[in-house]
């Protein structure tokens, strides 16, 4: 499974990255987490506001920091 956290490094981007790492750790999932800060690559995912969260190529959220439980739910759905 591949998870991408999209954002230039703003405070909310960092919060999202931390929430994703905690969710993955709690689920003990085999996941590759990539931080994408290049705006051209972010736009390739049709994300117009950061932070963005992409799981297995599917945009799950953008423009907000979803709750950890919601992130865990999305990870489980993609397993």
Q: How far is CA 67 from the centre of its chain?
A: 11
Q: Which residue of the set 1, 8, 9, 10 is catalytic? A: 10
Q: Which residue of the set 3, 6, 13, 54 is catalytic? A: 13
Burial (CB count within 10 angstroms: exposed 0-12, middle 13-18, buried 19+), residue 13? buried
Q: How far apart are CA 49 and CA 51, in angstroms?
A: 6
Catalytic, 10? Answer: yes
Task: For the beta carbon of residue 25, count every other beta carbon within 10 angstroms.
Answer: 10
Which residues are identified as catalytic?
A: 10, 13
């Amino acid at each position: 499974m591949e998870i991408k956290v999209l954002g230039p490094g703003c405070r909310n981007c960092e919060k999202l990255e931390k929430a994703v790492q905690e969710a993955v750790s709690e689920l003990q999932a085999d996941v590759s987490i990539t931080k994408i800060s290049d705006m051209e690559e972010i736009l390739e995912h049709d994300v117009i506001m950061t932070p963005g969260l992409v799981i297995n190529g599917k945009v799950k959220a953008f423009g907000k920091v979803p709750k950890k439980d919601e992130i865990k739910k999305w990870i489980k759905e993609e397993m």
